[in-house]
Amino acid sequence: MLLSVNTFVSLDGVMQGPGAPDEDRSGGFDRGGWLVPHASTHTNEVVEGWFREADAFLFGRTSFGLLGGYFPKVTDPDNLIATKLNTLPKYVVSSTLTDDEADWSPTTVLRGDLVAEVRRLKELPGRELQVHGSWRLAQTLHQAGLVDVYRLLQYPVVVGAGKRLFPDGSSPATFATVEESSRVLPGGVVSLTLNPTRLGAIFAGTYTVAEGRSSTVLD
């Protein structure tokens, strides 16, 4: 399976607490719910498109608890997202969560070496192993070079503080935009699909002037 990270970010890269003021107040975060005024049928359609590609899910402990406390209550058979989350295999990374506590069936708790476990899961048949939210987990997977595709909805909001998808210290990387699934939605939200093309380094260059003409030179 491909490993995809699917998340909502602000213009300044914040992914913390998009859906409600009390969703994630860790670190004293008090700006939650910034996504909601910009949600629309267009953003919902994009997110449903993400979930159509899923054959399994990988969560950190916090996101597993948040989603697992909400979606089992959604029993509408026409709700694609709930149906996928409630029926497909789920894996949660935790050293403290017990099997009895991980009762959002079917769920497996991963307690071993995370990188090795994820590599094993990626060898299983299927389309995508999807990560939604799960900030710390997304960081670990990025640093290990395990993410095959990033799908982002970037909202026209500067949050100004909070957990960023790529905080200072992230491994450098270069991405290619998948044009057919990247666009500006009505209302200004940007849908981006990005494939990593170079991990651990970025492409660089410089602007020069030769014979009066400006040109670029790539390293």
CB atoms within 10 A of CB 11: 12
CA 133 – CA 136 distance, rounded (Å):
9
CATH class of 2-218: alpha beta
Collapsing DSSP to helix, strand or coil, 217 comes out as strand
State if pTM tops 0.85: yes
DSSP-derived letter for residue 156 is: S
pLDDT in tens, the chain (219 residues): 999 999 999 999 999 999 999 999 999 999 999 999 999 999 999 999 999 999 999 999 999 999 999 999 999 999 999 999 999 999 999 999 999 999 999 999 999 999 999 999 999 999 999 999 999 999 999 999 999 999 999 999 999 999 999 999 999 999 999 999 999 999 999 999 999 998 888 888 999 998 999 999 987
Contact 18, 48 (CB under 8 A): no
Q: What is the dihedral of CA 158, 161, 162, 163, to 10 degrees?
A: 70
Domain segments of the chain as ranges: 2-218
CA 138 – CA 114 distance, rounded (Å):
12
Listed in sequence order, the DSSP H helices in the chain are 41-52, 61-68, 80-87, 114-122, 135-143
